[in-house]
Every structure is written in structure tokens, then in C-alpha cells.
Amino acid sequence: MRQDKYRDRKFVMYGFFIIVGIIFIIRLIQLQIVENEYVLAAENNTRRDVMIYPPRGLVYDRNGKLIVYNEAVFDLMIIPGQVDNNKMVNFCSTIGIDTLEYKKKYKKTRRYSRRKASVFKKQLSKTETAYLQEKLFQYPGFYVQARTLRKYPHHSAAHLLGYIGEVNKKEIKKDSFYTSGDYIGKSGIEKSYEKKLRGQKGVEKLMVDVFNRTKGAFHNGNYDVEAVNGTDLYTGLDIVLQEYGEELMLNKIGAVVAIEPATGEIISMISSPYYNPNMMVGSIRSDNYTILVNDTFKPLLNRAMTSAYPPGSTFKLIQALIGQQEGVLTPSTFYTCNNGFSYRGLHVGCHPHTPKIALQESVKISCNAYYCNVYKSIIHNPKYKAYDEAYLKWKSYVNNMGFGIKYGIDLPYERSGNIPKPEYYDKYYGKGHWNAITTISLSIGQGEILATPLQLANEAAWIANRGYYRTPHIVSYLGDKAHENVEFHEQHFVGIDRKYFDVVIDGMEEVTQSGTATLARIDSIPVCGKTGTVQNPHGENHSVFIAFAPKDNPKIAIAVFVENSGYGGTWAAPIAGLMIEKYLRGKISKNKKWIEKRMLNGDLIHK
């Protein structure tokens, strides 16, 4: 009995020692952690985290020419909680600002954070930075951080390339990647491909002494995070053609878009008036932005894809293809034109030409009466129970052809244009009280139809392809990989059988050989085109022209839109012809130099 009693006491003692041991172990762990916390806290007092900003990805044209690169600049950074304001006067003298400006900036950065670094003075030159580096040890809380700015060696393609600017509060809130003072793409491919171009930030942890002098890496750099460079972009742009097109469009208002039909790559995109993209770089950006915004000619507006116009006679090609597909039109269908189309008091005028014509010749001479009759035959087709049913079918074709929709191009702010819905006419005329006659202006690309120059260039591309297009896009490769967007590789069929294109394309070839656009003709290169003269209630008519070349195995499709310049064959067609020849041959033939000179010297803004 007594022996059992001692045995119980022994177990109690064992338990006591085990508990005490566990307590000691826990305490040792706590002390170790606390000790490390104190060490880290002490190190934090003499440690500086320097953000490493990776260079943004470079941008190249289709021939490997560098069109956007980076240039090093430096920002003066401040950590307000470490600043000795007793040295304010000397510091202001060192960096060349007055004390009032210093106090304003200091308060602003302090409101942001006492402990986090923010920009005190942006974009110092290398010379300014070298001078400051020798002085900054006297001023705790300040240091210099390397950054990069964009440079554009060709001074071209501003609307397409875009620009970068400092992030605002909304952008910071939307994406935690950014902090105050960071830069972000604001327009063009700089905006569309921001996440690819920006790379990944790194962090370098440095030890500094009480005089703010760097003493080496924190823990031998074991806690540093390496920056990852932005992805390089390879575009379909031909920078030589882009520069040439901008010269041709100087002192003109309008747009040019050129597409490679087989791929959908945009070869050139011009909006005029334009500006030098270097104007939107660095400390001069703010002042230049104000100048450009206040310019009455709106040079910041990308007319190539955000301005929508009536397509005019270029839209007659649409009617010709739909009419054939719907079985109401054949190559041998004849219509008579007596100076226009007349029906129960309605009259749509036309220019003088041979009275009775068939389909191919109607394309060549661009007869209004012919296409009024074609449109009427589509909408009044007896196989449909009502006019609005036939109209919906017509509209579905037009949407499939890329009008009235957004493509999803890799540029921001794309517009869809307008192909009116039946409800629009129901509201205007009353349901069941409208037909082809009340909407006859649509037959010749006027009225409520609106299209962007991008859509017109794409029309030329899918006609060149005999019935399909690939989504127009700027960027072809991300680094060494083909573009990841499958939409850019898929064929989008427009719903017209291939056999119906031949007569239309033959007519388009005659347009440049002996029709309304002979100034776009190129010796030994068959160019297929269509002119348009767009009615403008606010002034002189707009000149428009679409084309592709060569006729077989086409390499370029193009649309040119010149505002307030008259007939399509006068300005738009010659500009398109010159750009086609420049792209396909690399130079302009001698017999077209007079046309080139006229286009280059033409001033339609200050006339």
C-alpha cells in the first residue's frame, strides 16, 4: 500500500518536470522570436527598401525596326518620417526650389505616408542626379531612384503607340500593383498592353547609416526581389509606310488605315492632324497635353477608329454582294439610270453616264440608281413576309461584314459605327409604315449608316480575301510567342459565297483602270478599288476610297478618308495609290511623282 503511494508521487514529479520543461521551451521560442523582432526592428531603422522599376517592353515594327525604346531618368524620393527639416533651407538651395514649394511637397508626401517613400521631384537628368548624389548624405530621408521614360525615334504613329502618364487615385485603387508616382499606359498599345509592357517590380533592400549613406545590401541581398523586364511587342506596323502616309496627310483632316488581308495585321493607321509622340513624354507632357486638347483640329482624336462617317458609295459593294447572295441580282441584271432613281415623287440624283448598265459596270461608274434598285429588290424580296423581316436579314449580312459592331481590336476606344435597327424606323415612321423607299439613302451608304475608317479598310480586306477577315490588330508577337488572342487568328466569314465576288472585284479593277479612280492606278500592279463621295451638310463633301492590291494574292487593303475635300477620286484615291505602291515597291515610280507632289503639298486645312 505504502509502495503504491510512493509510486503515485513519482508520477506527479515526472509530470511536474515535463510541464516545467515545456514552459521553458515555449519561453525560449518566444524569446528567440522577440529577439529577432528587435533585431529586425533595429535593422529597419537603418534599412531602405528601394523599388526597382523594370524597363518597359520595347516595341518593333513588322520589319524589326525599333519604334519605342526607354531612356533612363531619375526621381528624387522622400521618406517624410526620416527627414530633418532643420536642414530645409540648405536642401532647397541644393535642388533649386524655394521653401514654400518644399513645404507644399513635404506636406503632400507626409499625408500619403510618413514611412513609405514617394516622389519629391520627378525626372531628374543624369547631370542633376550626379550632382545630387554627392550631397544627399547630408539630408536623411532623401534618395535617388532610377526610372525610365519612353522615346520614339521615328516621331510617328502617336495615336497607335499611345503614351504613358502618372497613375491617378482611381487607377491605384483598381490595381494594387501601382503606388503613387508610378506610370501607366494611358492610350494606344501602351494602354492595351500595359500588363505585358510594365513587367514586374523588384525590391532592393539596402543598409544605410545615420547620414543616409548606403553601407551595403541587407543580409547580403537574400531578401531582395529581382525585377522582371516588360515583354517586347512586335507589331504589324510598317513604320516607313506610316511616316510616308503621315506626310501625305499633312494639312488634311481624316484618316488612313492599311491592313494585311491574310493576317489582319494593321500595316498603317494614320489620324490627321497628328502629333509627335515625344511631345507626351516627361516633364513637358502636361503643357503639351493642354495645347493638344485646346487645338480646334483635335489632334488627340484617333479618327481612324473613333470617328464614324457615312461610307458613301463604298457601301455599294455591300449591296452588290448581298443582292447576289439573296438571289435578286446577277452579273447580267440591267437597270436604267435617267440621271438618278425616281419612285413616286422620290428622286435620288446620279451623274451622267450610259443609261442602261449591268452589275460590273455599275461598280466601275458608281451608279446611284443601280444600287437604289438593288437595295429595293433586297428589302422587297417576296420570300420575306414583311419589309422589316427582309431588313433584319440585310442587317445581319452587314453586321457579319464588320459594320455596326466592334471588332475587339487591341487599341482602346474603338467605336462600332451605326447600322440602324428596325426599331429605329418603327419609332420614326411607325411599325409597318416603312420600306426600302423610306430608307433608300442606305442603298448608297448615306442616311443613318456610320462607319469608321477601320471598318472601311476591313471591308477592302474581306473582299480581297473573297469572303472572310481576321480581326484587325496591331501586335503580332508578344516577345517570341505568337499573339495569345485566338480571335486574331480565326477566320470570320461574312456570309457571302466566294463565287459572287468575281464580278464585283472585276468592277473594282476597272474603277482604277478607266473608272472614277484612275489616279490610284499603278503600272503592272492591278489595283481594285471603289471611290465614295460622302455628302456633308456642314460643308464640302468628304473624299473616301477603299482598295486592295494586287488583285490576286493581295498584300495590302486600304481605306482613305479625307474630310471636306470633294470627290473620292480627287484626294483619297491618289493617296491610297501612292501608299500601295510605296508598300509593294518601296518607292514611287517617276510617272507618279507629279501626283505625289500634289498630295504632299495639298493644304485642305488652310485653303
Confidence of residue 41 (pLDDT cuts 50, 70, 90): very low
Q: What pLDDT is stored for residue 485 in this prediction?
A: 81
Q: How far apart are CA 265 and CA 473, in angstroms?
A: 5
The answer to whether residue 40 scores a pLDDT higher than 50 is no
Q: What pLDDT is stored for residue 606 in this prediction?
A: 81
pLDDT 10s digits, 57-85: 999 999 999 999 998 888 898 888 888 88
DSSP element (H, E) containing 52: strand 47-52
Q: Are the C-beta atoms of 145 and 74 separated by less than 8 Å?
A: yes
Q: What pLDDT is stored for residue 386 in this prediction?
A: 94
What's this model's pTM, rounded to 2 decimal places? 0.87
Alpha carbons within 13 angstroms on the beta-carbon side of residue 472 total 34
Q: Which of 349-353, 412-416, 447-451, 583-587 has the lowest mean pLDDT?
A: 349-353
Question: Which of 306, 272, 269, 573 shows the shortest CA–CA distance to 450?
Answer: 306
Confidence of residue 212 (pLDDT cuts 50, 70, 90): low
The dihedrals phi and psi of 590, each to the nearest 5 degrees, come to -60, -35
Return the amino acid letter for 417: G
The answer to whether residue 537 scores a pLDDT higher than 90 is no
Cα 220 to chain centroid, rounded: 44
Length of the chain: 607
| Residue of higher predicted confidence among 603 and 141 | 603
Confidence of residue 11 (pLDDT cuts 50, 70, 90): low
The dihedrals phi and psi of 427, each to the nearest 5 degrees, come to -70, -35
Q: How far apart are CA 67 and CA 58, in angstroms?
A: 8
End-to-end CA distance of the chain: 125
pLDDT 10s digits, 98-153: 989 999 999 988 888 887 788 898 888 888 888 888 888 888 888 888 888 899 99
> Is the four-CA dihedral 83, 87, 93, 98 of positive or negative sign?
positive
* Average pLDDT over the chain, rounded to an integer: 90
Question: Which of 368, 357, 364, 335 shows the shortest CA–CA distance to 440?
Answer: 368
Cell numbers standing for residue 435:
420600306
Q: What pLDDT is stored for residue 6 in this prediction?
A: 52
Q: Are the C-beta atoms of 275 and 153 separated by less than 8 Å?
A: no
Confidence of residue 37 (pLDDT cuts 50, 70, 90): very low
Q: What's the CA angle centered on 303, arms 298 and 306, to 5 degrees?
A: 110
Q: Please list, in sequence order, all residues whose beta carbon lies within 8 angstroms of the beta carbon of residue 447, skipping any fewer than 6 positions away.
A: 310, 439, 441
Q: Are the C-beta atoms of 277 and 157 separated by less than 8 Å?
A: yes
The answer to whether residue 9 scores a pLDDT higher than 70 is no
Mean pLDDT within 403-430: 96
Matching CATH number, 57-80+105-235, of 3.40.50.410, 3.40.50.360, 3.90.1310.10, 3.40.50.10070 = 3.90.1310.10
| Residue of higher predicted confidence among 1 and 360 | 360
Mean pLDDT within 85-107: 89
Q: Which of 121-135, 460-474, 512-526 has the lowest mean pLDDT?
A: 121-135
In terms of C-beta density within 10 A (0-12 exposed, 13-18 middle, 19 or more buried), how is residue 20 classed?
A: exposed
Q: How far apart are CA 358 and CA 336, in angstroms?
A: 9
Q: What pLDDT is stored for residue 118 in this prediction?
A: 84
The answer to whether residue 596 scores a pLDDT higher than 80 is yes
| Residue of higher predicted confidence among 38 and 506 | 506
Cell numbers standing for residue 202:
523588384
Mean pLDDT within 190-218: 82
pLDDT 10s digits, 272-325: 999 999 999 988 888 999 999 999 999 999 999 999 999 999 999 999 999 999
What dihedral angle (degrees, nearest 10) is formed by the CA atoms of 14, 20, 26, 30? -170
Cell numbers standing for residue 218:
541587407
Confidence of residue 330 (pLDDT cuts 50, 70, 90): very high
